[in-house]
Chains A and B, each alone.
Chain A
Amino acid sequence: MKRTRSFSWIVMAVCAIYFLTPLICTFEFSLRLKRGVYSFAAYENVLGDSHFQASFLYSTVLSVATIVFGTLLVVPTAYWVQLRLPRFRPVVEFLTLMPLVIPAIILVFGYVRIYNSSSIVPMTSASWSTDVLLGCSYITLALPYMYRAIDTGLQSIDVKTLTEAAESLGAKWPSILFGVILPNLRVAIISSAFLTFATVIGEFTIASLLDRPAFGPYLQLVGANRAYEPSALAVITFLITWGCMGVIQLLGRGRRGISASAY
């Protein structure tokens, strides 16, 4: 008993060193912009850079759009599959897994071939339509996370019986979906939203090849041209991602607690 316990602590320690050392070193390095003293000068440079603000804003807006439209696509699909077409579940699961199997570079090459300015659907000929195309590709990229999160949420409530209960009380399907199903998927939708946010905010390949001013290409640009700022950016990105995960945890746990303490 005691031996297994100390063994687990050793494993923990090794893992912690493995994961934390590079982080700590990156952080330490990012503080050394000024010779001889530790300072947050690199962070000031990054946060004050107008390109940082613009690209971060661009990616944030794009990820919010991805979350909204992705959720509107995935929730009804998963609901319908669960309720009426359980036979198609394996098909839909396979489809939603494709973005994990097909590398983003292949996806974007396909896009460029099909939607280039001399094709029938010249989506890359104007910047707004390229933004739309980028948004669509992000929905595709986020599908595996979104579908899984929402499907798990649907499975944790008895969708079929809840739907029937609402139906027998006279409800039609839009009010069932928005009044009964969606509110009970809150946690699932929130976690899918943050996973999507984390995916989109740092995405490089597609944004770069479609030549959009997103945060991913900006990260790469800074990384190629500066010494200390990339480390600062890496730390900032980590903080944002961790923040997202923390919020998921908090909201996920809070669900019962909130409803209990509200009354």
Chain B
Amino acid sequence: MAFLELENLQKTFGANNVVQGFDLSVAQGEFVSFLGPSGCGKTTTLRMVAGFEHPDAGCIRIGGKDVTGLRANQRHIGMVFQSYALFPNMTVAENVAYGLKIARRPAAEIRQRVEEMLALIKLPAMAQRYPHQLSGGQQQRVALARALSVNPQVLLLDEPLSALDAKIRISLREEIRAVQRKLGITTIYVTHDQEEALSISDRIVVMNEGRIDQVGTPFEIYNRPRTRFVASFVGTLNILQGQVLDAAGGRILIDGQEVQVTRGQSDLASGKIQAFALRPEAVTLGDGGVGRNRLRGSIDQVSFLGSVVRIRVKLKDNAILLDTFNNPGVAPPEFGREVDVNFGTEDLLVLDGAGRD
């Protein structure tokens, strides 16, 4: 049963179609991320849900009720901003209490609720501090508590971790997810960081140029990207151009070498040039044995990334990146050597979305 429904949302700024035909149903308690590059319309969509922007067309329903015409202060939505947006003139406790005070809750209830929220974000000792006396991570936790204090129907987070440094980002995103699970609150999380989206979400909405490219679980998005854009935006990916020899049999020619596809053959057309995706971690060096695809090329780049060594093997026009785990006993392969690389027939993904990059 969908709790938050977005139906055919449209938004234009001047001549720019910022969001077009956006359809999405979010279940109660679900954690959905909007993922995409800057300018893809993800923040605008979020702001339409919050009520800060009005859609040109389309409909937003929360719990079955149409809220499209309601103003932001009537929607019962919790919002967390990239810049924290804590009220600088108020203490942490006053910030968290603000929404309850506006709602004219009794003082005793407010006090209790503030304590509860501060315990939830693990900052009970900071109640009397001012925002400028807190670190960025602490401020964002207070902002989360402030948004949740009024028991909103939906929690919206607009790139909440982008202003923080890498370590805090990871610990805080785990904390946000834990709090969200505990409260079971329906959440939309906007980010441009694919790793963040993959690690935190129940479902990911990948957006590109105002449209949804794909909606799916992190597992689906990563392993079965539907378009070339999704494939290249989420994770590192090899994109190979090949000619389809035999669509039904899944036989493909890549730079004069034949390989086999066993997934998505239905999208193939014999004789056509087609784009395929291949994850670096699906590829290994060597012959690989029977039943695997094999391509021959020469090593033209070796990047040592610590735990992983990333090798680029040049075919004729295409190149394949592959990841191997660092083995302290074995030196990285030398440059220029002729090697075989192999990968499973099901690892080669057929991409649609012709013309869209």
Q: Check if A and B associate.
A: yes
A contact residues vs B (CB 8 Å cutoff): 157-158, 161-162, 164-172, 175, 179-180, 183-184, 186, 256, 259-260, 263
Least CB distance from A130 to B in Å reads 40
Smallest beta-carbon distance A162→chain B, Å: 6
- Nearest to A168 among chain B residues (CB) is B79
Separation of A238 and B89 alpha carbons in the complex (Å): 34
Which one of A162, A186, A256 lies within 8 Å of B85 (CB-CB)? Answer: A162
Which residue of chain B lies nearest to A185 when distances are taken between CB atoms in the complex? Answer: B89
Chain A contacts of B128 at CB under 8 A? Answer: 263
With both beta carbons as reference points, the residue of chain B lying nearest to A164 in the complex is identified as B52
Whole-angstrom CA separation of A186 from B86 in the bound complex: 17
**Candidates A157, A164, A167, A179; contact of B88 at CB < 8 Å:** A157
Q: At the interface, is chain A mostly helix, strand, loop or mixed?
A: helix
- Alpha-carbon distance A260/B51, docked complex (angstroms): 35
Nearest CB of chain B from residue A182's CB, rounded to whole Å: 9
Determine if B91 is an interface residue (Cβ-Cβ < 8 Å): yes
A169 and B150 contact, Cβ closer than 8 Å, known pairs A161-B81, A184-B88: yes
Chain B residue numbers with a CB within 8 Å of A164 are: 50, 52, 72, 79, 81, 85
Task: Determine how close the nearest CB of chain B comes to the CB of A61; give it in whole angstroms.
Answer: 30
Q: Give CA–CA (A164, B98) in the complex, Å.
A: 13
In the complex the two chains form, is A263's CB within 8 Å of B91's CB?
yes
Contacts of B147 in A (CB 8 A): 168-169
Contact call A168/B73, Cβ cutoff below 8 A: yes
Residues of A within 8 A of B103 (CB): 170
Chosen A-B contacts, 14 in total, with CB atoms closer than 8 Å, are A161-B81, A161-B85, A164-B79, A165-B81, A167-B51, A168-B72, A168-B77, A168-B147, A169-B146, A170-B73, A179-B98, A184-B87, A259-B130, A263-B130
- Distance in Å from the Cβ of B328 to the closest Cβ of chain A? 49
How many whole Å from A147's CB to the nearest CB in chain B?
22
- Set of chain A residues within 8 Å of B122, measured between Cβ atoms: none
> Do B130 and A260 touch across chains, with their CB atoms under 8 A apart?
yes
Cβ distance A156 to chain B, nearest Cβ, rounded Å: 10
Cα A156 to Cα B102 with chains together (Å) = 25
Q: How far is the CA of A161 from the CA of B87 in the complex (A)?
A: 10
A167 contacts B72, C-beta separation under 8 Å? yes
| Cα of A244 to Cα of B146 in the assembled complex, Å | 39
Query: How would residues 46 to 86 of chain B score, 1 for a CB under 8 Å from any chain A CB and 0 otherwise?
Result: 00001110000000000000000001111111110101011
Q: Give the docked Cα–Cα distance between A259 and B92 (Å).
A: 13
Question: In the complex, which residue of chain A has the Cβ closest to the Cβ of B133?
Answer: A260
B143 neighbours in A (Cβ, 8 Å): 165
Chain B, interface residues (CB within 8 Å), range: 20 to 34
What is the CA–CA distance of A184 and B88 in the complex, to the nearest angstrom? Answer: 7
B129 interfacial by beta-carbon distance below 8 Å = yes
A228 to B89, CA, bound (A): 49
C-alpha spacing A180/B79, complex, angstroms: 17
Q: What residues on B are CB-neighbors of A184 within 8 Å?
A: 87-89
Closest-by-CB residue of B relative to A169 is B99
What residues on B are CB-neighbors of A263 within 8 Å? 91, 128-130
B316 at the interface (CB under 8 A from A): no
Residue in A170, A184, A259, A263 whose Cβ sees the most chain B Cβ within 10 Å: A170
In-complex Cβ contact of A171 among B86, B88, B102, B129 (8 A): B102
Q: Shortest beta-carbon distance, B55 to chain A, in Å?
A: 17
Complex: chain B residue closest to A167, CB-CB: B72
Q: In the complex, which residues of chain A have a beta carbon less than 8 angstroms from the beta carbon of B102? A: 166, 169-171, 175
- Contact among A167, A183, A256, A260 with B73 in the assembled complex (CB-CB below 8 Å): A167
Q: Give A186 to B88 CA distance when docked, in angstroms.
A: 12
Question: Which residues of the partner chain B approach A158 to less than 8 Å between Cβ atoms?
Answer: 83, 85
Residues in B with CB closer than 8 Å to A170 are: 73-74, 76, 99, 102-103, 150
Closest 5 CB pairs of A and B: A169-B99, A168-B79, A183-B89, A165-B85, A161-B85
Given contacts A161-B81, A165-B86, A180-B87, 4 further A-B contacts (CB under 8 A): A162-B85, A170-B103, A186-B89, A263-B91
A263 vs B128: C-alpha distance when bound (angstroms):
7
- Measured between alpha carbons, how far is A259 from B83 in the docked complex, in Å? 21
In contact, A162 and B73 (Cβ under 8 angstroms):
no
How far does the Cβ of A226 sit from chain B's closest Cβ, in whole Å?
Answer: 49
Q: A256 CA to B88 CA in the complex, in Å? A: 10
Write the nearest CB–CB distance from B85 to chain A, whole angstroms. 4
B32: min CB distance to chain A, Å: 18
CB-CB < 8 A to A175: which residues of B?
102
- Asked whether any CB of chain A lies closer than 8 Å to the CB of B132, the reply is yes
Given contacts A161-B83, A175-B102, A184-B87, contact A168 B130 (CB under 8 A): no
Interface centre among A165, A171, A180, A183 (most CB of B within 10 A): A165
Best-surrounded residue of B83, B85, B99, B143 (most CB of chain A within 10 A): B85
- Chain A residues within 8 Å of B99, by CB: 169-171
Docked complex Cα distance between A132 and B103 (Å): 40
CB pair B73 A171 closer than 8 Å: yes
Minimum Cβ distance to chain B for residue A261 (Å) = 11
Closest CB-CB distance, B134 to chain A, in whole Å? 12
